[in-house]
Amino acid sequence: MQVVFVTGVAGFIGSRVAEMLLEQGNRVIGIDNLNDYYDSRLKLWRLDALEQYFRFTFFQADIEDFASLRAIFRDYRPTAVINEAARISVCSSRENPSAYFATNAGGTLNLLELCRQCGTAKFVLASTSLLCAEQKVPGEGEQQQPANTSLSTYAASKKVAEALAHAYHHLYSLDVSVLRYFTVYGPAGRPDMEVLRFVRGIGSGIPLQICGDPAAGRDFVYIEDAAGGTVAALQPVGYEIINLGSNSPHRLSELIRLIELYTGRSAVMHNCLEPGVGMQGSRARAGIRKARATLGWRPAVSLEEGVRKTVDWYLNNWDWLKNLKF
C-alpha cells in the first residue's frame, strides 16, 4: 500500500485518479481549495464519491499555502505526490498571469520542496499538450521545449513547473513523471470543456457555441484512460515527459454527430468563434510511443464508447445537473 498525496482531488482528473488508487487498496490524502472557477456542486459530487472510501482523507487547502502543506506532509509522510491542482483557463491566464504563476509554478515548487524535506521519492506532474504546439510534428515528441515557445501565459506557467521538477530530479534524485494531457473527457467532466458543454447543449436544445472550425481535430482521451496512465506513471522513470492522448484526432463535427446519436436530438448550431490565442496546441495529435514503452499504457476507450458513457451519465444525473452553471 502506498500513501499518495493527490492535489486537485475534487477536480475532473484528480478525483478519478484518487478513486483508482483507492480501488487498488492505497491510502490517498487529497487536497483541493474548492475554488469557484466552475460550479462547485460538480466538485462536491466527485468528492462525495471519494469520501465513501475509508482510506481517503480530505483537506480543503491550497498548494500555494506552504505551511498547511507542510503540516499534512509531516503527519502522513506520503510515498508519492500526484499534482493535479492548477489554474487551467488560457483566457483567464491572460487577464491574471500572476495568479497562474503563483499556483502552477509556485504551488508546484512548494510540493517539490516538501518532497525533498520529507523524503517523498515520487512526483507526478500534470502538464498540458499546449506545450507541444510548436513542434514540427505536433504531439509526436515529448522532449523538453524552451519556455519561450509557449503560446499562452498558462502554458508558460506549466513549462516553469516542468523545469522546476527537472531541477529537483537533477539536484535531489526525485523521480518525476511529467504528463502532458490532451483533451480529457468523460462523465463528471469539466463543464467549460467541449464534450460536456455539447452534451448539455444538444440535450437541452441550447445553441452550440463552437470555438474555431468544426472540421478541426482534437485528440480526445477518455477519463478512465487518462487516470490509468496517471496511476501507471507512479512507477520509477527517472525524469520523463510523457503524452497521454489517443493518437487519433477526431473532428468536432464528428463529436457533435455522436452526441446527436446518443441523445436522440439534433444540434442547434451557433456562429463559430475564432480560437483564442494560445489554444492551437489543443488540436495536436498525441504521440504516445513513450507512454507505451515506459508505462506499458495505451488508451482502450474509443470516442464512440466514451461519448456514449458520457451521455448516459448526463441523462442519469439530469435531476441535479440541470441546475448546474455552465
* Identified catalytic residue from 154, 168, 222, 262: 154
CB atoms near residue 319 (< 10 Å): 7
Q: Are 207 and 268 in contact (CB under 8 A)?
A: yes
Sheet of 80-83, strand order? 56-60, 27-32, 3-7, 80-83, 122-128, 175-181, 239-244
CB-CB contact of 157 with 303 (8 Å): no
Residue position matching grid coordinates 521545449? 145
Q: Would you say 213 and 65 are in contact if contact means Cβ atoms under 8 Å apart?
A: no
Range list of β-strands (E), the chain = 3-7, 27-32, 56-60, 80-83, 122-128, 175-181, 183-185, 217-218, 220-222, 239-244, 250-251
User: For residues 58 and 51, is the Cβ–Cβ distance under 8 A?
Assistant: yes
- Answer yes or no: are the C-beta atoms of 183 and 282 closer than 8 Å: yes
Give the 3-state secondary structure of residue 267: coil
Q: Is residue 260 within a helix (H) or strand (E), and if so which, with residue range? A: helix 252-263
> Can you name the residues that pair with 128 across neighbouring β-strands?
181
How far apart CA 92 and CA 96 sit, in angstroms, is 6
154 in catalytic set: yes
As a whole number of angstroms, the distance between CA 263 and CA 278 comes to: 32
Rg of the chain over Cα atoms, rounded to whole angstroms, equals 19
119: left (phi over 0), alpha (psi -120 to 50) or beta: left
29 close to 69: Cβ distance less than 8 angstroms: no
CA distance 30 to 7: 6
> Would you name the residues annotated as active-site residues?
154
